[in-house]
């Protein structure tokens, strides 16, 4: 039986709203990650966007998860948003050094850019940053502005071996562009549709999940390494979204 390199899970795991529906009612927050890792083989860590974690925190993540578990991490905003990829060597090296505590469980690092970042000046800063650092880790870039979708941008990512994050976001075009030997799918949804109550599914996205299952199958057949994450805003309850998507992939005889 062929097994594919598919790593799938949710964006974050520390949600009290998941108790009863995903986590047992009696579980303590310190036990969330261990329970989570019994159901999904990967997680996207959003908290690193807000600051570089402590080494002890990273080592605790490592200790709570299986040997083949993968963490995909957001690059801290001090690098991407505050310093805009310039004069940030100290912060970048500190982030890399700390996250090596995950050892083989450290997966891709996502550079997420804001809608307000214009293409011209920021493109040059990104190109310079990737020219220097792309070989140090598995990197991916997520954009939130449709003006970045152009062949110059795709060509630069491909030259550097950096993946374009394929995001399903209500105001962005659904672009499927492969620029590296791996790809990341992020199911993000619409904040206006989903209130701050993540106890259950609120939006039917069966058609969208079928569409993504077909795309993911195509990626895997091309022997790409694929990472897939959903946040709570996509349907209202990220674990349910991922379980549904996993079932659709299993129905296609995709084993991972």
pLDDT tens for 194-222 read 989 999 999 999 999 999 999 999 999 99
Asked whether the whole model's pTM tops 0.85, one would answer: yes
Query: Is residue 256 in a domain?
Result: no
Report the pLDDT value the prediction gives residue 119, as an integer from 0 to 100: 84
Q: What is the arithmetic mean of pLDDT over 151-156?
A: 98
- Residue 172 forms part of a structural domain: yes
Instruction: Tell me which residue range forms the domain holding 164.
Output: 6-184
Classify residue 65: in a domain, yes or no.
yes
Domain tally, the chain: 1
| Alpha carbon distance 80, 49 (integer Å) | 9
- Lowest-confidence range among 112-116, 149-153, 210-214? 112-116
What are the pLDDT digits (tens) for 154-176?
999 999 999 999 999 999 999 99
pLDDT at 120 over 90: no
> What CATH number is attached to the domain comprising 110?
3.20.20.410
Which two three-digit tokens encode residue 105? 């469980």
Residue 41 belongs to a domain: yes
Q: Which region, left, alpha or beta, applies to residue 23 given φ > 0 means left and ψ of -120 to 50 means alpha?
A: beta
Q: How confident is the model at residue 1 (pLDDT cuts 50, 70, 90)?
A: low
Rounded mean pLDDT, 15-39? 97
How much of the chain, in percent, has pLDDT values that exceed 90? 91
Question: How many residues are there in the chain?
Answer: 256
- pLDDT at position 192: 87
Does residue 255 sit within a domain? Answer: no
What is the enclosing helix (H) or strand (E) of 210?
A: helix 206-221
Mean pLDDT of the chain: 96
CB 184 within 8 A of CB 110: yes
Does residue 245 sit within a domain? no
Confidence of residue 245 (pLDDT cuts 50, 70, 90): very high
Q: Assess if residue 117 is contained within a domain.
A: yes
Across the range 108-130, mean pLDDT stands at: 91
Residues with Cβ within 8 Å of residue 112, at least 6 apart in sequence: 49, 74, 75, 80, 142, 144, 165
Confirm whether 201 is domain-assigned: no
Rounded to a whole number of angstroms, the distance between the first and last alpha carbons of the chain is 10
- What integer is the mean pLDDT of 72-90? 97
The pLDDT of residue 255 is: 86
| CA-closest candidate to residue 141, choices 110, 180, 108 | 110
């Amino acid at each position: 039986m062929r097994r594919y390199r598919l790593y799938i899970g949710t964006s974050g795991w520390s949600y009290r709203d998941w108790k009863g529906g995903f986590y047992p009612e009696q579980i303590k927050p310190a036990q969330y990650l261990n329970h989570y890792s019994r159901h999904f083989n990967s997680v996207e860590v959003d908290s690193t966007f807000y600051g570089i974690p402590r080494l002890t925190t990273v080592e605790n993540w490592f200790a709570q998860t299986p040997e083949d578990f993968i963490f995909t991490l957001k690059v801290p905003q001090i690098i991407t948003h505050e310093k805009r990829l310039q004069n940030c060597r100290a912060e970048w090296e500190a982030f890399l050094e700390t996250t090596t505590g995950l050892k083989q469980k450290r997966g891709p690092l996502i550079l997420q850019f804001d809608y307000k970042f214009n293409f011209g000046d920021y493109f040059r800063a990104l190109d310079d940053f990737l020219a220097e650092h792309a070989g140090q880790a598995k990197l991916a870039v997520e954009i939130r502005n449709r003006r970045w979708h152009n062949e110059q941008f795709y060509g630069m990512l491909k030259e550097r071996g950096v993946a374009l994050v394929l995001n399903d976001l209500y105001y962005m075009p659904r672009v499927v562009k492969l620029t590296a030997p791996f790809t990341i799918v992020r199911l993000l949804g619409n904040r206006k549709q989903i209130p701050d109550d993540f106890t259950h599914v609120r939006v039917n996205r069966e058609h969208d999940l079928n569409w993504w299952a077909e795309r993911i199958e195509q990626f895997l057949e091309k022997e790409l390494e694929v990472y897939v994450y959903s946040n709570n805003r996509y349907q209202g309850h990220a674990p349910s979204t991922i379980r549904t998507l996993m079932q659709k992939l299993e129905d296609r005889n995709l084993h991972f």
